[in-house]
């Protein structure tokens, strides 16, 4: 990690301070558990900035994994691999993101009082929907990374129109009708208020994503 942190020092001081602290405070297994709240307070940075700082590790994980970030309820777990670890030996960043968004969907369907008995069987659809989300982000000239994908994915599901929720709400249908649903979100004037809901999210300009070309 020395070379990665050394390079980060020359690029962005606050990024360097956060990642250096995480590295120094990690345990004998090179792992540290923390919450965004406590880390945000420690370095006096907003959560949106902290998300960008944590997602920066994607720049290190190319041919090998040097940092793995996962979530356990309200806590985040960062594990360092100082010499790098071959990606095939552990979960890829994509697999971690899929698992995290699948956990989100389990709670999402519960919140919407939808008894989804086949949700585990339909988990492969999450990856397909993620790919379509990323394509929608790319089409608007925005940056695709794990944080932008996660936030846009959740925004999409939180704004699925009522008709789809009442008539065709399983992941198989959402994947199949993704473009129709996205179009419905674009043309639903009620979603003009989404900026208030996501006003603290600076990673993506959602208005560009939902605006007609």
pLDDT tens sequence for the chain (213 residues): 788 888 889 888 899 999 999 999 999 999 999 888 889 899 998 888 888 888 888 888 877 888 988 876 678 889 999 888 876 655 667 888 899 899 999 999 999 999 999 999 999 999 999 999 999 888 888 878 888 888 899 999 999 999 999 999 999 999 999 999 998 888 875 444 433 433 433 445 555 555 555
Q: Judging by DSSP bridges, how do beta strands 75-86 and 64-72 pair with one another?
A: antiparallel
Query: What pTM was estimated for this model as a whole?
Result: 0.54
**Maximum separation of any 2 CA atoms in the chain, in Å:** 54
Closest CA relative to residue 69, chosen from 130, 19, 16, 14: 19
| DSSP structural state of residue 170 | S
Taking domain 2-89, whether its CATH number is 3.30.420.40 is answered by no
Closest CA relative to residue 119, chosen from 130, 134, 104: 104
56-91: burial string, b at 16+ Cβ within 10 Å, e else: bbeebbeeebbbbbeeeeeebebbbbeebbebeeee
Let me know if 189 is exposed, middle or buried by CB neighbors in 10 A (0-12, 13-18, 19+). exposed
Closest CA relative to residue 66, chosen from 52, 48, 80, 50: 80
């Amino acid at each position: 990690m020395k070379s990665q942190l050394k390079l980060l020092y020359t690029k962005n001081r606050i990024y360097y301070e956060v990642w250096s602290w995480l590295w120094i405070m990690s345990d004998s297994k090179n792992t540290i558990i923390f919450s965004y709240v406590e880390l945000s307070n420690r370095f006096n940075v907003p959560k949106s900035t902290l998300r960008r700082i944590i997602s920066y590790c994607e720049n290190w994980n190319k041919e090998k994994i040097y940092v793995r970030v996962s979530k356990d309820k309200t806590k985040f777990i960062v594990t360092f691999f100082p010499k790098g670890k071959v990606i095939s030996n552990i979960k890829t960043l994509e697999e971690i993101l899929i698992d995290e968004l699948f956990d989100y969907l389990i709670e999402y369907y519960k919140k919407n009082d939808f008894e989804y008995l086949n949700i585990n069987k339909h988990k492969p659809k999450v990856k397909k929907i993620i790919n379509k989300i990323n394509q929608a982000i790319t089409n608007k000239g925005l940056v695709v990374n794990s944080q932008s994908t996660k936030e846009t994915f959740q925004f999409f599901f939180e704004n699925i129109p009522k008709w789809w929720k009442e008539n065709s709400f399983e992941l198989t249908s959402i994947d199949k009708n993704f473009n129709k649903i996205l179009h419905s979100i674009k043309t639903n004037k009620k979603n003009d208020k989404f900026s208030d809901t996501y006003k603290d999210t600076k990673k993506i300009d959602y208005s560009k994503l939902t605006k007609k070309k």
